[in-house]
Amino acid sequence: MIDLHTHSTASDGTFTPRQVAGLAVEHGLKAVALTDHDTVDGITEFMAGATGNNIRLIPGVEISAIFNKRELHMVGLFVDTENRQLLDLLAQIRRDREYRNLIIVQRVCDMGYEISYDEVMAEAGGDVVGRPHFAGVLMRKYDFSSRQAVFDACLKRGTRGYVPRKLPQPQQVIEAVHAAGGCVVWGHPIYRDKGERSFMRRVLKVLVPVGLDAVEAYYSSFSPAQESIVKDLADEFNLALSGGSDFHGANIPEIELGTGYGELNVPDELLNELEKRAGG
């Protein structure tokens, strides 16, 4: 089996890029993609992480986009990590993220929790700083039982510390990933049980004409019914299928590389079609 959706310490995972590659070897995977949020900084280390082993390592990235006020996660696979158009987009996203993070620091401090942006950056250990890193700092300094407890009190939508992200349009992401020779996958397109088929169809009617290549049909939290919806719509819109665990290491400890919550099995044969569609 394969896993085409994973994260490392280059974004919000707890395993280094090299460790992600090594763990994939230990788990007997045929292929694994590193798809950190809004960065390809871990790819060089990742690609050197399983030299001499019979496993395919795929350079990737996960980029958030906005569609009618709803966040979509676009996964790029087989990307050229030196492509200027892709790197420029990722740099702009990180600048927007940093501006947002500075506002979050101020709001959290206004709530009575004294933290600094330096502490949050140290928690992240890399260029991509997100809310899980804020949660890590707050857990250490204050009496929170879990990261989720921090989110519930301070960081999720509806709390005083929540600040919406400024995100690119999906078309921008598709163009940049194609410019980098990659294949664009709409990651985990199902979020809940109600109305998702109609929502997916509305999005696909817009994104398929501008170059969307695939959808993530195999995902750790999908029910059989959700998987079926994604496969049906992939067939209707002539899209390739992809899949992955969304592995984050200890930040989401229930999800294992390759197997997700234990039942995930992404078929090897998906790789060929995904690679055929790379580059748009």
| Same domain, residue pair 137 and 254 | no
Domain coverage including residue 124: 90-155
Could you tell me if residue 175 is inside a domain? yes
Please check whether residues 114 and 128 belong to one and the same domain.
Answer: yes
Strand spans (E) along the chain: 2-3, 31-34, 56-67, 70-77, 183-187, 214-219, 240-244
Q: Distance (Å, rounded) from C-alpha 233 to C-alpha 86?
A: 28
How far apart (Å, rounded) are the C-alpha atoms in residues 129 and 123?
9
176-203: average pLDDT: 92
Q: What is the mean pLDDT of residues 15-27?
A: 96
Assess whether pLDDT exceeds 80 at residue 188: yes
| pLDDT over 70 (residue 193) | no
Please report the pLDDT score of residue 165 as a whole number.
Answer: 87
Beta-ladder partners of 6? 247
- From 129, 155, 181, the end of a domain falls on 155
Q: Say yes or no to pLDDT of 24 above 90.
A: yes
Residues 95 and 73 in one domain: no
CA dist 234 and 229 (Å) reads: 9
Any idea of the CA torsion for 232, 233, 236, 239, to the nearest 10 degrees? -110
Evaluate whether residue 133 is within a structural domain: yes
180 & 79 share domain:
yes
What mean pLDDT do residues 211-233 have? 96
Residue 150 has pLDDT above 80, yes or no: yes
Tell me: do 82 and 33 sit in the same domain: yes
| High-pLDDT (> 90) share of the chain, % | 85
Instruction: Say if residue 134 is in the same domain as residue 198.
Output: no
| Residues 10 and 140 occupy one common structural domain | no
* Residue 130 belongs to some domain of the structure: yes
- Evaluate whether residue 160 is within a structural domain: no
> How many CB atoms sit inside 10 A of residue 87's CB?
16
pLDDT at res. 171 = 97
Closest CA to 203 of 216, 219, 186: 186
Same domain flag for 253 and 170: yes
Average pLDDT of span 113-124: 93
pLDDT of residue 191: 78
Q: How many domains does the chain have?
A: 2
Q: Are residues 200 and 234 in the same domain?
A: yes
CATH number where 208 lies: 3.20.20.140
For residues 118-129, average pLDDT = 85
Asked if 230 and 99 sit in the same domain, the reply is: no
Residue where a domain terminates, one of 131, 155, 179: 155
- C-alpha radius of gyration, the chain, whole number: 18
How far is residue 27 from each of residues 17, 45, 210, 269, 272, measured CA to CA in Å?
16, 19, 37, 18, 21
pLDDT at residue number 32: 98
DSSP assignment, residue 211? T
Tokens of 94: 């990180």
Instruction: Tell me whether residue 44 is in a domain.
Output: yes
Q: State percent of the chain over pLDDT 70.
A: 99
What phi and psi, each to the nearest 5 degrees, are found at residue 5?
-155, 95
CA 143 – CA 133 distance, rounded (Å): 16
* Assigned domain for 161 exists: no
Asked whether residue 139 falls in the same domain as residue 254, the answer is: no
* Arithmetic mean of pLDDT, 155-164: 94
Question: What is the pLDDT averaged over residues 29-44?
Answer: 96
Mean pLDDT in residue range 197-224: 96
Please report the pLDDT score of residue 243 as a whole number: 98
What average pLDDT score do residues 239-261 get?
A: 95
| Domain CATH for 130 | 1.10.150
Cβ neighbours of residue 86 closer than 8 Å, sequence gap 6 or more: 40, 61, 76, 79, 80, 176, 177, 179, 180, 182
Q: How far apart are CA 251 and CA 72, in angstroms?
A: 21
End position of a domain, from candidates 123, 155, 187: 155
Listed range (119-128, 148-157, 245-254, 261-270) with the worst mean pLDDT: 119-128
- Rounded to 5 degrees, φ, ψ at 155 are -120, -20
Mean of pLDDT over the chain: 94
> 123 with 77, same domain?
no
Residue 260, domain member (yes or no): yes
pLDDT value at position 238? 98
